[in-house]
Amino acid sequence: MIISGNDLSKSYNQRKVLDHVSIGCDAGEICGLLGANGAGKTTLFKILLGLVTPDTGTVTVRSASNKKIGGIIEGPALYEYLNAYENLKIFGSIQGVDVSKKALQQCLESVGLPQDRLDPVRNFSLGMKQRLGIAIALLNNPACLVLDEPFSGLDPLGVAALRNLVVDLAAQHQLAIILSSHIIEELSKICHTLYVIKEGRMVNQGPAQELITNNTTTYTICADNIENSLALKAYETRFKGSCAHIHITADRVPELIFQLHEEGIYISSCVPELNMEKLFETTAP
């Protein structure tokens, strides 16, 4: 693991907001931290970034780089009256990194920001500000990048563009990237590994696809005449138009699809529906 936080706890005013939580992320890996508002995501990220001292546990970042970890917490903090290049230059000077024009332009380019925007960043869209925040976090080539709710407030196109950027950064620069969200769809598309946090405790974790499959109990299958299927009589099913919402586990879906095909029912779509209650179910400590 490039970064690992082990057995981290934190209390504020005798209230435990993190309870013996562990998290890890490897080079080139994208790790998602899923949790409702107030679950403890930001506190965990602040501990990983060294901004908050934990009551128990340790954080280890294995990297030879001067700056081991970079990140954005609660939105990028930018000088709104300066342009993108000037923002980078100031943050670069603060961090003591190469602030040559070429280095900074490369940095802007790496996050897909245009180099010819000379107006203040207050004119930028939220998506562009997030990109600039990431460029600042990437100054001095950290091994790990931590992004707290990076999709918050972005429109669907902005979410898709930022997702692509995160995937590229992990693949091309072999960064370990940990990002948080309270929306599973924002994480499930790009994360290799998912951590699920509830009321300060890690209640679920594992390979993203495995976690989703294991916690999917309903599939929506659409096809003409699906309501006439005999195979579906074996399952608890609700019909709506030409779609059936079927209570079924992932391992039985291939067989059902085969049976439907045998009955001459040709499927137009088959969509898994994640059972969020199950995903967030608290297991005994």
Q: Binding residues for ligand ADP, per CB under 6 A? A: 12, 17, 35, 37-43
Specify whether the CB–CB gap between 41 and 71 falls below 8 A. Answer: no
For residue 34, the minimal CB distance to ligand ADP (Å) is 10
Q: Which two tokens mark 242?
A: 């030409």
With respect to ligand ADP, which residue has the nearer C-beta, 8 or 39?
Answer: 39
126 dihedral zone (left: phi>0; alpha: psi -120 to 50; beta): alpha
Q: Where are the alpha helices (DSSP H) in 174-228?
A: 184-188, 208-214
210 contact partners, CB below 8 Å, separation of at least 6: none
Alpha-carbon distances of 6 from 40, 64, 160, 283, rounded to whole Å: 15, 21, 32, 19
For residue 260, the minimal CB distance to ligand ADP (Å) is 42
With respect to ligand ADP, which residue has the nearer C-beta, 111 or 145?
Answer: 145
For residue 77, the minimal CB distance to ligand ADP (Å) is 16
With respect to ligand ADP, which residue has the nearer C-beta, 51 or 234?
Answer: 51
H helix or E strand, kind and range, residue 269: strand 267-274
With respect to ligand ADP, which residue has the nearer C-beta, 56 or 95?
Answer: 56
Q: CA 61, CA 67: separation in Å to the nearest integer?
A: 10
For residue 74, the minimal CB distance to ligand ADP (Å) is 8
Q: CA 198, CA 69: separation in Å to the nearest integer?
A: 25
With respect to ligand ADP, which residue has the nearer C-beta, 128 or 146?
Answer: 146
With respect to ligand ADP, which residue has the nearer C-beta, 42 or 229?
Answer: 42
Specify whether the CB–CB gap between 266 and 224 falls below 8 A. Answer: yes
Beta carbons within 10 angstroms of residue 205's beta carbon: 18
For residue 200, the minimal CB distance to ligand ADP (Å) is 7
Token pair 């080139």 in the structure block, residue: 28
For residue 198, the minimal CB distance to ligand ADP (Å) is 10
DSSP 45: H
